[in-house]
Amino acid sequence: MKTGLAGLAATLFLCAPGRMDARQRQFLDRYCSTCHNERLKTGGLSLAGVDLSRPEVKPELWEKVVRKVRTGVMPPPGAPQPPGVDRRAMLTAIEGALDSAAGKVNPGRTETLRRLSRTEYQNAIRDLLALDIDAGSLLPADESGHGYDNVNLGDLSATLLNRYISAGQKISRLAVGSTQSSLQSDTIGLPADLTQEDHLPGMPIGTRGGLSTTYTFAQDGEYEIQVLLMRDLAGVVSGLRDSRSHEMLVLLDREPVHSFTVSRAAIGDQVLNEKPLKVRIPVKAGPHNLAVTFVKEGSSLVETTKRPTESRFNDRRYPRTAPAVDQILLTGPYEAKGAGDTPSRRRLFVCRPAGEDKQEEEKCAAAILSTLMRRAYRRPVTKGDVDEMVPFYRKGRAERDFELGITRAVTAVLTNPKFLFRVESDPAEMPAGGVYRISDLELASRLSFFLWSSIPDDELLEAAAQGRLSQPGELERQTRRMLADRRSFNLATNFAGQWLRLRNLDAVQPSGNLFRDFDENLRRAFQQETELFFDSVLREDRSVLTFLKSDYTFLNQRLAKHYGISGVYGSRFRRVTLAQKSRRGGLLRHGSVLSVTSYATRTSPVLRGVLVLKNFLGAPPPAPPPDVPALDESTMAANLGMRERLAAHRSNPVCASCHRTIDPAGFALENYDAIGRWRELELEDQRVDASGAVPGDKEFHGVDGLEEALLRRPELFAATLTENLLTFALGRGVEYYDAPAVRKIVREAEKEGYRFSSLILGIVKSVPFQMRRAEAGPVAAKIGVK
Amino acid sequence: MFLTKKAISRRAMLKSAQGALALPLLEAMIPAATAWDKTPAKPVRRIGFVFIPMGCDQDRWTPPGHVTLGELSPILAPLDPVKEQVSVITNLRLPNAYPGTHDTSNSAFLSAASAKHTESSDYFSGITVDQIAAKEMGRETQVDSLQLAMDLNPLAGVCNNGYSCVYQNCLSWSSPTTPLPSEAHPRVVFERLFGEGGNAEERRAALRNRASLLDSFTAEIARVKQRVGAPDRARLDLYLESVRQVEREIERGEKAAADNKTPDLERPVGVPAAFADHAKVMFDLQILAFQADITRVISFQFTREQSNRTYPEIGVRDPHHPVSHHGNDPVKVAQIAKINTYHIKLYSEFLQRMKATPDGNGSLLDHTVYLYGSGMGNPSLHDHENLPILVAGGTATGLKGGRHIRYEKGTNLANLHLTLLERVGIQLDKFADSTGKVEDLFERVV
């Protein structure tokens, strides 16, 4: 529909590529120069005397102009607006010129050295050693840049280095198993605000509450498990009433191995008189599912003088009616009987020494380490790599045995920069500013860290090592294969978690007074819904516009009840087709997104507006000025609706310049309260006013209106999502010189209805992904030598 | 280290008056401290802080005589074997702990700062005296400071009157927005200090393994340097800086292991069930940490505020917190006094062990300053006046033990913190709301 007139206009102008004519000059004079002239220089910009004939010589300026005009931020509200036809014609002309800038390809420059992010480290260990570790307890969090935590990875503090060494030692011992020399002890805890009255997702049927986790047991042997129960502020075990008795089960791989009786008589409820809930069980080495949970005792309604709530964890307000698990302390192995047969040993030990003699052992050690290093370093192994590891192996061998030698060498691999850092270096003879295609091996890493946040698998690595990856069709084949692989769920967790700020869900602590029914169960449900939804669009290769408007979502009983959707029973998440007029569906209706853009006591149209403008529309508002005075909440009457509360945003001209754009985008979502429930009224008797607007479009009402407005210009959403994916894929912020590539991706994707794979493939085939710009390199250093 | 980073939000900074006070202190963090002199004449100095909750029975606590600590009061009687190295100070107060009670008793004890009244993650308190010491004294040791506790389950959610639990859980704060978690599990503390343990030779071997991993790391960085341009070489040089920093820590650790005679260390696995046993282990770990010179700054939350522990072993079967609300009922007051005495007994045993441990030309106690006390005064009134405070420690710092210093008017606890910092070589003009120093405690600095 839009291609009609714009297409005509474009044909007229693109006949002479790069040439702009009087029409564009007129456009500027009429709609821009009133403010952006030499005298006023509004926003620091003057368009007087710019050379319109070749915008491509000033791409930084024109890309800014294009972004603002395309999203409709410029001309600002109140100023004369160009008719849609003219706006599109102008954009087509300028963009055409920028895109066709021949020979000025700028793929940008990723950092030469980037260490693995914490998530990437965890995934790499999983794929390298078949070992699930919790990197959160081993390594500090990464700082974010441009919204993603894989952008500022050029640092290495002493603290981090220490942690890498400790982590490497711990992981190698766990992977080999036999060299775990002493008792290990771990604590696994549950959040205090988890309601454990009913069945939790993933737990066996017939149980309530508790936790289930996969724990890697280092060796065959006996392990002591101690369970600590949730207590209230007085130190008394919560939920123990009268003489009621509860059965608490310990399950290993879903089989009950022990049962505790929990009642006042059995354990007492004072701190010191408690008999500890401890048991020792035999376990074989390797990863096992360990669960501690209660047998469910009937489902009768709880008598209560207050309105019954779903959440029950706060002993002052909504007390637990039954005991709950707080922590599990695991200690072991006692009576250790060796490392047994575990997935990590099978992955690591690709051979066993053929004989007792040192030479045989060293041959096998070399084979083991070469296999490991190829995967860890993400490239074929050299003799130098192996030679470097031999001293570590020999030292451990001399100290004890073959397996200790391997352990020490594995530690050395895991603490080597070749594993910890991704290096992209310019080719030897490249002049500064030169543009080159990155190597197949570098491309393989980019691909696997993009889609899986992990190391390339053997198939991808092989293709790259043989130089096949850059062959036509091979890259696309590998990309599709990797998208179909289960590991691409990473995009739903790691990418979407940052694009939609889901990582902040853990910090969402709604006021207990106002939001009685909020608990960890709901928090987890929010996250599940969005992750499963995102993954469904990816895996079913749907159009990304589904993110904006959808007729289905994923629910379990708790979430459905929260949303007011009937007919969903059980804790398992399942796809639910929504009714025609449903208030749920697209991302803007998800409890997750709506909660992370709210405060503890109220919604925030500002946070919501910023999310919509920045991460959906691609029209990020400028940063707030440095000395914004605090909102004086005390002078705000308690009975003011949200719009009145934020009135100062509109009346103060300094605030209004940004907030007249930000706030309306957020107001459209006002029908959803701070924890994502639908409401018609706020403050009990005032009707919610959900009229809103986004730049460049007419006013609309509510979330329906917002979605329709975004869908009217789907290319904007597609471009914004592409930019976010590209940032995540490259590990650097997207700059003005990437804009032609983004436009190309969006154009091609439009032909396929914006299917998810079209965006991914577009990115993978793009100039910024496949190429790199050189800097003043070793060439300068070498010139002296030559 | 169990550090978490928290950025101060702009609004939090602007809103809190304490922000204006704490921040300049932050910047003046590293004043010109007296130089370390490890000659026998001026050996290593150390500082420790022990916190007990819910004040005390002030009648049975306060010694009868003052200036000289003659006869010990009933609660302080167990200190008799170390009387000459302990001083009691009465009538100190924490004005900034108001209007809070249990939470601020804990958070203000070492910071003398006013805690922001919030349940959310925008908490704001003040840097604590032990962390100021750690920033300076921690430069010489492998671990800059240690935070210990006795309670395994830190509380979550709302703790008391709308204060976030972080105020009750965390005694030490390395900045107004960085509470430091503490460790109650002996094994974890042990591992932090000694890794896998074993004897000195084994520990040195473990440190050498780390060093050789670093050598390998450095070699690879050097190789990468050959292949990259100037800006990237500068980046790599920064990495090498970090490597050198870690290497220095390892060297210090190796030296400490070589210089200090510590017994073979068996790593503790579990947590002793009995309070006294658990306390002894935690105190012993402090002695070991000082002996091995792994750290020189320790804070210890001996029990937490609002603790509901019962002490049947001394005949108190009722939980601590409710009993502390005695309302002047003599039975309950007597119970509180028993609990106070029990804590003092365990502390005294620790001080005796410190005294019996040789260090340099004296004992460990001679060279270590310890503060013991509470951020609350009368628990039945929930006030922060006339706090129970003890200073223990030896001649090396100039402490005049065996004294009872009694202030006529309530004096800010921060004065004592300022004085203790001076004793370990950190000169500051002011700490939190200090109005001067506690002159009578120590000999004048020459």
CB-nearest partner of B235 from A154, A415, A781: A154
For chains A and B, count residue pairs whose Cβ atoms are closer than 8 Å: 146
Nearest-by-Cβ selection for B217 from A391, A415, A423? A415
Q: Does B279 score more than 70 pLDDT?
A: yes
**What gap in Å lies between CA B69 and CA B77, rounded to an integer?**
11
Contact criterion met (CB below 8 Å) for A84 and A117 = no
Q: Is B212 on the interface with A (CB under 8 A)?
A: yes
In sequence order, the 6+-apart residues with CB closer than 8 A to the CB of A723 are A618, A734, A738, A742
Q: Are strands B297-301 and B46-51 parallel, antiparallel or unpaired?
A: parallel
Q: What is the pLDDT of residues A102-151, one digit of tens each?
A: 557 889 999 889 999 999 999 999 999 999 998 887 888 787 778 888 88
Flag whether residue B121 sits within 8 Å of chain A, measured between CB atoms: yes
Higher pLDDT, A3 or A212: A212
Question: What is the model's pLDDT at position A635?
Answer: 52
What tokens appear for B52 in the block? Answer: 């007990």
* Residue A559 reports pLDDT greater than 60: yes
Q: Report the phi/psi class of residue A564: left, alpha or beta, with left for phi > 0 and alpha for psi in -120 to 50.
A: left
pLDDT tens digits, one per residue of A268-315: 655 444 578 999 999 999 999 999 999 998 776 666 666 678 888 877
Q: Is the pLDDT of residue B4 over 50?
A: no
Q: What interhelical angle do A458-465 and A358-377 show, nearest 10? A: 90
Average pLDDT of the segment spanning A687-709: 93
Give dist(CA B156, CA A628) in Å, integer: 33
- Give the residue from chain B lying closest to A507, CA to CA: B121
Chain B residues lying within 8 Å of A112, measured CB to CB: 228-229, 232, 235
pLDDT in tens, B404-425: 999 988 999 999 999 999 888 8
Spatial CB neighbours of B216, under 8 Å, sequence gap ≥ 6: A388, A392, A412, A415, A416
Per-residue pLDDT tens for A457-466?
A: 999 999 999 9
B315: contact with A, CB 8 A cutoff: no
**DSSP conformational letter for A612:** I
| Mean model confidence pLDDT for chain A | 88
Contacts of A158 in chain B (CB under 8 A): 242-243, 245-246, 249
What letter would DSSP give residue A511? -
Any chain B CB within 8 A of the CB of A235?
yes
Q: Do A412 and B219 touch (CB under 8 A)?
A: no
- Percentage with pLDDT > 90 across chain B: 43
Question: Taking CA atoms, what residue in A is nearest to B211?
Answer: A165
C-alpha span between A568 and A392 (Å, rounded): 58
Q: Tell me: pLDDT of A186 over 90.
A: no
Mean pLDDT, all residues of chain B: 81
**Per-residue model confidence (pLDDT) at position A144:** 75
CB distance B267 to B189 below 8 Å: no
The confidence score (pLDDT) of residue A21 equals 72
Question: Which residues make Cβ contacts (< 8 Å) with residue B331, sequence separation at least 6?
Answer: none
Contact of A195 with A273, CB cutoff 8 Å: no
Q: Are A2 and A70 in contact (CB under 8 A)?
A: no
Looking at the complex, report in whole angstroms how far the Cα of residue A562 sits from the nearest Cα belonging to chain B: 22
In the stretch 391-450 of chain A, residues with CB closer than 8 A to chain B read 391-392, 408, 411-412, 415-418, 423, 425-426
Beta bridge partners of A188: A328
Say what the pLDDT of residue B275 is: 87
User: What's the pLDDT score for residue A224?
Assistant: 93
Q: Using pLDDT thresholds of 50, 70 and 90, give the confidence band for residue A5.
A: very low
The CB-side HSE value for A225 (13 A sphere, CA atoms) comes to: 26
Cα separation, A692 vs B239, whole angstroms:
50
**B240 Cβ contact list (under 8 Å, min separation 6):** B218, B221
pLDDT given for residue A1 in this prediction: 41
The rounded distance, in Å, linking the Cα atoms of B149 and B50 is: 9
pTM of the full structure = 0.81
The pLDDT score that the predictor gives to residue B443 is 64
| pLDDT value at B268 more than 80 | no
**In the predicted model, is pLDDT for residue B40 greater than 70?**
no
Q: What is the pLDDT of residue B198?
A: 65
Residues of chain B neighbouring A408 (CB-CB closer than 8 A): 209
Residue B133 has pLDDT above 60, yes or no: yes
Tell me how far apart the alpha carbons of residues A260 and A250 are, in angstroms, rounded to a whole number: 8
